[in-house]
Structure 1
Amino acid sequence: MVTSPELDRSVILRDSAAAFRHLARICFKTGPPTYTGVELEWTVHDVADPARPVDPARLRAALGRHSPVTLDPASPAEPLRHGGTVTLEPGGQLEVSTPPRTSTGALIQATEADIAQVNGLLAAVGLTLGRSGIDPHRRPRPVVETPRYRAMRRVFDERGPAGRTMMYSTAGLQVCLDVGEPDQVGARWAAAHAIGPPMLAAFASASRHAGQRTGWASARMAAWLAIDPARTRPVWTPGTAAENPTATWTRYVFGAPLLCLRRPGQDWTPPPGVTFGDWLDGALPRPPTTDDLDYHVSTLFPPVRPRGYLELRYLDAQPDRGWRIPLAVLSALFHDGGTVCAAYSISEPVAHRWSTAARRGLSDPALAAAAAALFDLALDALPRLGLPAGTHDEIHEGVRRRLAAIRRAER
């Protein structure tokens, strides 16, 4: 992703204008669209009995010096051999984030190597990675506890069980793309959102949870959408393509209630209903700092989140090496201005159908048609990614198989 000099994270924010300027600097870092990144999450299971709970001690034994400090405070948290970092979600879901690359092919190669290393570490203690976007075997249960996670659980519990399902049972695939040059930001921002519903539908893998069919193609996204619209609804909506993304995002950030309020001790539960905008207006004893604002942003989970780059958060985890296909499709769709505009035009009519995509997947005719058109567009652009021949051929064939399945269903 585009980088910038380190910012002072401890500046006191005296007013909303200062907060707006900070968000513009850290969330929309413009420059040539060069880098692509990927973050992969999986549920973790016992090889012999995938419904058996996995405890923290077993995960520590597997990950060793790569354990995140949330699992082992004394861990050096060493990167994997190709630079990937390992983190754990509250339910013990394992995430690998490899450094962004200028080449999609290089990113795939490095990520595959890091995943192979993780698989080896897990296999040594009889564990394996899951294959879907939600745990198909176990009910939600905490594995990693921190003050942040406890505060999240308390807040989410006020709205129902979806928060615990999200925290302890879901696994996603996140693709990270540069924001682009200043004159490209609006188009890339709108397209990243618009293609979300058809891409969610096309790669939904989360229909079973805790031993039962859920009635959703993506029960993972269903959980996210049910948590709290103020922090999980899309930031962009159809009809607002010309709106300034920074202004839209700032309103979203200011309007979201605090999820955690960091303080000494183990209780980070915030005062009920206090938004970051309220904090700026003096609702709490001390004014917020830029670091507080950055932390608040980390507790917002829209389908597309600006973090200096665009983090596309709407894909379910994929089985085995299946993650390469949506990564390559999105890389191809965002290869240049022409593909971005074409992808937006295809998707704009269904850009609002998030819940339908999560519920019905590709059984919805409009979403299936949009997904097929996006796959066609991606296939045309795929050669421009410069993938190694073998990787290109495997991904090309994988996209064609998915496209053929859509066409058969349409008949």
Structure 2
Amino acid sequence: MTTTAHASVAQAEIGRIEDAEGYIASICFKTGPPASLGVEIEHLVHVADHPSRPLGAAALTALLPSRPLGPGGQVTLAVPPQPDLERLHEAGHAALDRLDLDVTRSGLRLAGFGIDPHRAPRRVLSSPRYRAMAAAFARRGGDGRTLMYSAAGLRPLLPAGPAKELPARWAAVHELGPILLALFANSPVHAGRDTGWASTRMRAWYGIDPARAGALPTGPDPAAAWARYAVRAPLLCVRRPGASWNVPAGVTFADWIGGALSRRPTFDDLDYHLRTLFPLVRPGGHLEVRYLDAQPGGDWFAPVAVLSALVSDPATVEAARDLAAPTVGRWVEAARYGLTDASIAAGVLPVADLALRVLERDGLPGPLVEEVQGAIESRFRRANML
């Protein structure tokens, strides 16, 4: 499609819900080769010698002028997709080293946690989107504010794989979630207080409207399921001239198609709407896993490698799903208790062992396998499992 033709489609109005669903289903998964792996590494930033000191937008953008920032001042590092784990490790560590150097030179420090251990939620950056997001989240309480201003995540971007393998792969990434969330939970302290949750970040996640941020249905047709979910999800905002992008509570994209707002949505509006949905796994060509806490330093690689290994081929997917079956759906227990939940902990060891065996089988260099194993073992030691 030419650039002109693409622009024409983007600006075309959507007249039927079926048209929106068909469009979403056609773009949400890029199946087949070439496969690539990516990762988005998000970090909270503190003043090095005074981590509880608030950071203002002007100061933070002056100190890190070339870095994309979130509403709470989070720094996001998007590592370009790579053809394999070894090259992703190299690219990710090089990018993180450069970020760490920029941050250190500015008198700052990367926090390395999934929630701010020192500061209460506080807005740093403002924009029409962020203001609309804050207004929408506030309707359900303060959890959305915590996520916007105090949380940081690690987001592996996994290939969708061949079309015939997608349903099992999609299901596996969800079914393994409680085990991997518990294994890599890294946000027990928020604003100076032990919260009693292994992943306080995920505790806040549960306070967001599940129509925007819940677990998606799994089944034989993930694309159709995502399309139905997305079209019936509430609008976060509508882009328009001026400072306010707010929308009335409860208006869904389907309602917008039906005439609920002053104009009909376009396919460009639909593309933007998809980027305002935050399910635990979001399809965007790849599988964007959103349930993992930010990790300290180079520890980001271990959860990415484990997930990649567990969905690497149909036999491994089947084995991983069998191992995860007893903990399917136990998201809250995983976030609250982490590896101290006996039933979840019982599933972690065999799942981790399977991942390590697959990484060795598939030729990941020994030092990188040892790095992953060391990161896993450190989690076990913390939970007194070794």
- TM bucket (normalised to shorter chain) is over 0.9
Question: SS where residue 263 of structure 2 aligns?
Answer: coil
Count, aligned residues: 381
Aligned letter for 1:342? A
Residue equivalent to 2:79? 98
Residue equivalent to 1:305? 282
Task: State the shift of 1:37 in Å.
Answer: 0.6
Question: SS where residue 392 of structure 1 aligns?
Answer: helix
Residue equivalent to 2:20? 19
Query: 2:21 touches 2:228 (CA, 8 Å); kept in 1?
Result: no
Question: SS where residue 40 of structure 2 aligns?
Answer: strand
Task: State the shift of 1:112 in Å.
Answer: 0.7
Residue equivalent to 1:220? 201
CA deviation string 1:352-374 (max 9, x = no partner): 11111111111112211222121
Aligned letter for 1:192? V
Aligned letter for 1:57? A
Counterpart Cα distance in 1 of 2:114 and 2:121:
14
Counterpart Cα distance in 1 of 2:300 and 2:164:
31
Task: State the shift of 1:88 in Å.
Answer: 1.2
- The within-5 A match list for 1:160-199 is 160-199=141-180
Query: 1:305 touches 1:311 (CA, 8 Å); kept in 2?
Result: yes
Counterpart Cα distance in 1 of 2:17 and 2:238:
19
Counterpart Cα distance in 2 of 1:40 and 1:97:
6
Query: 2:133 touches 2:236 (CA, 8 Å); kept in 1?
Result: yes
Query: 1:175 touches 1:327 (CA, 8 Å); kept in 2?
Result: yes
Residue equivalent to 2:211? 230
Q: CA 1:207–1:403 in structure 2 vs 1: closer, same or farther (change >3 Å)?
A: closer
CA deviation string 1:232-255 (max 9, x = no partner): 11002xxx533x112211221122
Task: State the shift of 1:105 in Å.
Answer: 0.9
Counterpart Cα distance in 1 of 2:58 and 2:264:
40
Aligned letter for 1:157? A
Question: SS where residue 12 of structure 1 aligns?
Answer: coil
Whether 1:40 and 2:45 are equivalent positions in the alignment is no
Query: 2:31 touches 2:163 (CA, 8 Å); kept in 1?
Result: yes
Question: SS where residue 299 of structure 2 aligns?
Answer: coil
Query: 1:33 touches 1:181 (CA, 8 Å); kept in 2?
Result: no
Could you tell me which of 130, 133, 139 is aligned with 1:152?
133
More divergent stretch after superposition (54-63 vs 314-323)? 54-63
More divergent stretch after superposition (197-206 vs 387-396)? 387-396
Counterpart Cα distance in 2 of 1:392 and 1:364:
27
Residue equivalent to 2:50? 49
Task: State the shift of 1:400 in Å.
Answer: 4.2
Counterpart Cα distance in 1 of 2:308 and 2:34:
11
Whether 1:347 and 2:324 are equivalent positions in the alignment is yes
Could you tell me which of 342, 346, 349 is aligned with 1:369?
346
Whether 1:89 and 2:90 are equivalent positions in the alignment is no
Query: 1:304 touches 1:312 (CA, 8 Å); kept in 2?
Result: yes
- The within-5 A match list for 1:312-331 is 312-331=289-308
Task: State the shift of 1:385 in Å.
Answer: 4.2
Query: 1:33 touches 1:179 (CA, 8 Å); kept in 2?
Result: no
Question: SS where residue 163 of structure 2 aligns?
Answer: coil
Residue equivalent to 1:276? 253
Task: State the shift of 1:384 in Å.
Answer: 3.6
Q: CA 1:175–1:374 in structure 2 vs 1: closer, same or farther (change >3 Å)?
A: same
More divergent stretch after superposition (392-401 vs 127-136)? 392-401
Task: State the shift of 1:33 in Å.
Answer: 6.6
Counterpart Cα distance in 1 of 2:34 and 2:333:
31
In the TM superposition, structure 1's runs of 4+ consecutive aligned residues that sit over 6 Å from their partners are: none
Query: 1:172 touches 1:315 (CA, 8 Å); kept in 2?
Result: yes
Residue equivalent to 1:112? 93
Task: State the shift of 1:307 in Å.
Answer: 0.6
Question: SS where residue 322 of structure 1 aligns?
Answer: helix
Counterpart Cα distance in 2 of 1:262 and 1:123:
36
Query: 1:33 touches 1:177 (CA, 8 Å); kept in 2?
Result: no
Instruction: Structure 2: give runs of 5+ residues left out of the alignment.
Output: none
Task: State the shift of 1:6 in Å.
Answer: 6.2
Q: CA 1:134–1:391 in structure 2 vs 1: closer, same or farther (change >3 Å)?
A: same
User: Root-mean-square deviation (CA), in Å?
Assistant: 1.8
CA deviation string 1:191-237 (max 9, x = no partner): 0110011100110011100000111111101111111111111002x
Counterpart Cα distance in 2 of 1:181 and 1:401:
35
Aligned letter for 2:32? G
Task: State the shift of 1:328 in Å.
Answer: 1.1
Task: State the shift of 1:61 in Å.
Answer: 2.7
More divergent stretch after superposition (31-40 vs 198-207)? 31-40
Counterpart Cα distance in 1 of 2:73 and 2:106:
15
Instruction: Structure 1: give runs of 5+ residues left out of the alignment.
Output: 68-86
Query: 2:175 touches 2:321 (CA, 8 Å); kept in 1?
Result: yes
Counterpart Cα distance in 2 of 1:144 and 1:405:
35
Query: 1:135 touches 1:209 (CA, 8 Å); kept in 2?
Result: yes
Residue equivalent to 2:32? 31
Query: 2:44 touches 2:116 (CA, 8 Å); kept in 1?
Result: yes
Counterpart Cα distance in 2 of 1:402 and 1:60:
35
Counterpart Cα distance in 1 of 2:183 and 2:245:
38
**Identical residues among aligned pairs (%):** 48
Counterpart Cα distance in 1 of 2:368 and 2:63:
30
CA deviation string 1:118-171 (max 9, x = no partner): 111111120010121000000000111000000011111111111110000000
Query: 2:360 touches 2:366 (CA, 8 Å); kept in 1?
Result: no
Query: 1:134 touches 1:209 (CA, 8 Å); kept in 2?
Result: yes
Query: 1:234 touches 1:302 (CA, 8 Å); kept in 2?
Result: yes
Counterpart Cα distance in 1 of 2:28 and 2:235:
19
Question: SS where residue 227 of structure 1 aligns?
Answer: coil
More divergent stretch after superposition (276-285 vs 174-183)? 276-285
Residue equivalent to 1:381? 358
Query: 1:61 touches 1:125 (CA, 8 Å); kept in 2?
Result: no
Give the TM-score normalised by structure 2. 0.94
